[in-house]
Each structure stands twice: as structure tokens, then as C-alpha cells.
Structure 1
């Protein structure tokens, strides 16, 4: 019976710790939004972080986008061929790439490459007590360090999402036309017939939100690591895993809201 009681206390302790961490993450997100319009804006820090995140993310993102678009085109092409709707392959694959694949691929690579480095940098500053020194000097570490990094992650996510969309669509076109004997005209015509401008906007909005989430989670774990270098390493791993979980959850919510509010073209 004592063991069961201890287990119950352990579960309640873990649940309370998870709720506290979720509250801290939510509070940090609100603080970042509140500090964004404040002045002075750390423009130099923003440019440096933008360049760093873009430099470590652009090549892996482009390389992943090609096979990702090809896989979607091949699967959609085989399914549409089975049901006799091969002329709609272009619309189905391109919309899947623009609305779903591009924002997710972009955000995952930004979180894995840029977000992990951001978390490690802030974590090392925290254990060296640089964050506490800024607070003593009256400087807000959120406005000085976190806001430029979060805005840089959001900006890179938007730009890389456009690149992934173009590369993924071109890759899907190549695989469908070359490997599945699709018709180039039908591929493009079906897309232009069913696609609409909000389909592009929802992809960019998702990328913007995902970049914000990746930056805030990385900053949250970087500002709250355990003691020592091992704590920083654990914080990096936790930030990547937590970002992945939140991205898929938020993607589901945004997709559901979009499909409810924006009717398909022609309806």
C-alpha cells in the first residue's frame, strides 16, 4: 500500500510540474508578444540571428523538400490512377504540399537546427549567470535576447516556406510527369482550377505561427535549464521534442479552422 501511495504522489508531482512548465511557456509567449513593439529594437541581433538560422536551415530544407514533394506526388498519382481521376493529381499533390507539407517541413528543420542552437546559446548564458546579470543591470533579457531570436525564426520560417513550396511543387511535377507518365498540361490545369489564394495564405500563416512556437519553446527551455552543461543538453533535447509535439497539434487546429471558414473553390 505504501508503494501505491508513493506512486500516486509521484504522478501528482509530475502533473503539477508539467502544469507549471506549461504556464511558464504561456507566460513567456505573452511576454514576447508584449515586448515586440517596444523600443529600442535589437536590429543587429535580429539580423545576426536571421542569418544564422537561415544558413543552417536552408540547405537541409531544400534537400528535404525535393523527395517530400516527390513522395506526395507519387502516392497521390497512384491513388488517382486507381480511381480514374488522374487529371486531378496536380491539384491534390500541390495543395497538400502548400497547405501541409511545406510549413511542417520548414518548422521541423528550423526547430531542429536553429531552435536547438538558440536553446543551447541561451542555456549557456543562463548557467554562466549572464541572464541574472542583465536583470541586475535593469535590462530585460526577453527584449534583449529572446525577441530578436523569435522574430528571426518567424521571418526565416516564412521565407523558407515559400522556397519549400516551390521546390516541392517542382519535384512533384517532375516525378509525376517523368515517372508516372502524367500529362504536364493536366497537372498544371487541375491545380489552377481548384487552388485559390487562401491556400497559399494558410501555408504562410502556419509557417509564421510555427516559427513563433519554435522560437518561444527554444527560449523557454534555454532560460530554464538544469544546473551544469548536462542540464543545457537536456534542455536542448526537450525543446526539440516539445516543439515537434506542439507543431503537429497546432497544425491540426489551424487546418480544421481553415477548412471550416474557407469553402473550396467553386462552392
Structure 2
């Protein structure tokens, strides 16, 4: 048995190969980002498209998401007799965890699926191959503007989700749970710190990058015609969701270990 045959029969060899190709594409995107000419017009068009399909669903999801976090934490904290810390717990949970996750899910589900379908359709029509024959780098021409657009819109939408979620949490805590506005704001300002917002934006940028790269990779590798493009879209969304939760766990653990928490 040759080495190639042994590696092909190795369980999980296909998954490892796909993972390596995904990381290679991510590195290729980073390298081509700094090459000229930069496709500025394509970047603006893709940013506008992703924002147009994501902004309304993101805002609508942020309201109940913030409300659920505020109500659940508020009820638990009231049971523990620490009602004065309701604002801090709700706001920190929304800013550090809920906002980047909700933003990334919306960008991956709406924008990422559209990117995967677009690139996949170009692939099966052999437009990508034609670009390569003509000496045009498809990564620089098509993928880099889309990935950067995902990163930009994820960052902006993360701010929107944070504001809407905090306002929703404030409303539901004060109105439904009988909290006082002063205690809510005082506990928030007492425990929250600027690095909490930084880690939220860093997560949003990284999540946008992951969503764009995974969508582009699956679009470049459809298997078997239009049905393969549809399967690639579903796979890109599922893979992105799995990666987002894993990366979020790692970033949160590193942040809580490195950055000293206020009041501790």
C-alpha cells in the first residue's frame, strides 16, 4: 500500500484536507487584501447588499434577544437578592456575548448564503475558470471585497445590536420587573469597562471574516451543478455557525483570563 493510498483511506482525511484548503483560502484572502488594484466599487456594492439584507432582521432579532437576556438574568439576580446588579449583568451579557453572536448569525445566514450562492453560480458557469485563464485572480477580484464587506457590516451591525439590546433590556427590566432606572444605570457604569466593547467589536470583525471566507470557500467548491450550489449554501451556514461558537468560546476564555474585570 502506497503512502497516498494510506492517507486516502485514513478516517477523517477528507475533513483534514478540506480544513487545510479553508485555511489556505483564508491566508490567500489576507495576502490579496493588500494587493493592488483594490476592488473598491465591488466592496461598496457588496457592503450595501449585505447591509440591506441584514439590518432589518438584525434589529428585529436584537429586541427580543435583549429582552430574554434581561428577563432571565433579572429574575435570577432578584432571587439571589442582588437586584442592584441587574443592569450590569444584562448589559455585559448583551455586549460581550449576545451582540457579536446575533450579528454573526445574521451576516452568515443572510449575507454569507448569498455570497456562497453567487460564487457557486459563477463556478458552475465556469466564470471562475475563465477569469483564471485571462490572468485575473478570482480571490482578489471577487472574494476579498466580499469578505471585507462582511467584516465591515458585522462591525456596524454589532453596534446596532448592542444599542438595541441594551435599550430593550432596560425597558423590560424597569417596566416588567419593577427595577429602578437609577440602579440599572449605576450598576452598569460600576462594572462595565471599555475593553468589554473592544472584545465585542473584535469578535464581530473576526466572525465577519469567518462568515465571508467559509461562504466563499463553499461557493468555490460546489459538487455537481445547481443542486451542488444549494448544498454548498446549506453547508456554509452550518459550518460558519459551528466555527463561530467555537471561536467565541476561545476568545471569551482568553479575554476573561487576560483582562482584569472591573470590581474584582
User: TM-score range, shorter-chain basis?
Assistant: over 0.9
Which stretches in structure 2 are left out of the alignment for 5+ residues? Answer: 1-5
Give yes or no for the alignment of 1:228 onto 2:213. no
Q: What is the alpha-carbon distance in structure 1 between the residues aligned to residue 201 and residue 38 of structure 2? A: 24
What TM-score results when the alignment is normalised by the length of structure 2?
A: 0.96
Q: What is the alpha-carbon distance in structure 2 between the residues aligned to residue 49 and residue 110 of structure 1? A: 12
Deviations 1:40-70 (A, max 9, x none): 0000000000000000000000000000000
Q: Which residue of 2 aligns with 1:253?
A: 250
Residue 13 of structure 1: CA displacement? 5.8
Residue 152 of structure 1: CA displacement? 0.1
Q: Which residue of 1 aligns with 2:107?
A: 110
- Tell me which stretches of 4 or more aligned residues in structure 1 moved more than 2 Å: 11-14
The residue matched to 2:37 in structure 1 has which SS? coil
Give yes or no for the alignment of 1:88 onto 2:88. no
Q: Which residue of 2 aligns with 1:125?
A: 122
The residue matched to 2:36 in structure 1 has which SS? coil
How is 1:56-205 mapped onto 2 (pairs within 5 angstroms)? 56-205=53-202
Q: What is the alpha-carbon distance in structure 1 between the residues aligned to residue 72 and residue 238 of structure 2? A: 28
Computed over aligned residues only, the root mean square deviation of the Cα atoms, in angstroms, reads: 1.2
Q: What is the alpha-carbon distance in structure 2 between the residues aligned to residue 36 and residue 243 of structure 1? A: 21
Q: Which residue of 1 aligns with 2:3?
A: none
Q: What is the alpha-carbon distance in structure 2 between the residues aligned to residue 194 and residue 256 of structure 1? A: 18
Residue 12 of structure 1: CA displacement? 4.8
Give yes or no for the alignment of 1:35 onto 2:17. no
Q: Which residue of 2 aligns with 1:5?
A: none
Q: What is the alpha-carbon distance in structure 2 between the residues aligned to residue 264 and residue 20 of structure 1? A: 40
Deviations 1:121-153 (A, max 9, x none): 000000000000000011100000000000000
Q: What is the alpha-carbon distance in structure 1 between the residues aligned to residue 130 and residue 44 of structure 2? A: 24
The residue matched to 2:106 in structure 1 has which SS? helix
- How many pairs does the alignment contain? 258
The residue matched to 1:169 in structure 2 has which SS? helix
Q: What is the alpha-carbon distance in structure 2 between the residues aligned to residue 12 and residue 249 of structure 1? A: 28
What TM-score results when the alignment is normalised by the length of structure 1?
A: 0.95
Residue 266 of structure 1: CA displacement? 3.4
Q: Which residue of 2 aligns with 1:3?
A: none
The residue matched to 2:12 in structure 1 has which SS? helix
Q: What is the alpha-carbon distance in structure 2 between the residues aligned to residue 106 and residue 222 of structure 1? A: 22
Deviations 1:145-164 (A, max 9, x none): 00000000000000000000
